[in-house]
Amino acid sequence: MREKFQETNTMQDDPGKQLEFPLDCQFRIMAMANAENIPQDLQKVIDQHDLKSTPKKGNSTKKGTYQSWIVSGTIYSLESLRAVGADFSAIDGVKMVL
């Protein structure tokens, strides 16, 4: 049992070994609902990484505090995947990127 856990843990240490690129990817971004900059800032990241996409508004929370956004695109490397996620996370008002 212990050996199996270690094998799985080793695979998790390098997710690039489990992913095949190019990869069609969908990002879900949770942001403050009152942040007016979100669509424009998401589009800047999309354009910067040449994802050829438009952010689509998803669901909002019951109290209306958070708004989800969906961005799809093709990613060509693990480094690019990490960079896109980091750039979305750095947007003012973004709370989580999945």
pLDDT value at residue 14 = 67
What three-state secondary structure class fits 64?
Answer: coil
Which position has the higher pLDDT, 6 or 15? 15
39-90 residue pLDDT tens: 999 999 999 999 999 999 999 999 999 999 999 999 999 999 999 999 999 9
Helical axes 38-48 vs 78-89, angle rounded to 10°: 160
For residue 21, pLDDT beyond 50? yes
d(CA 62, CA 39): 21
| Predicted model pTM | 0.82
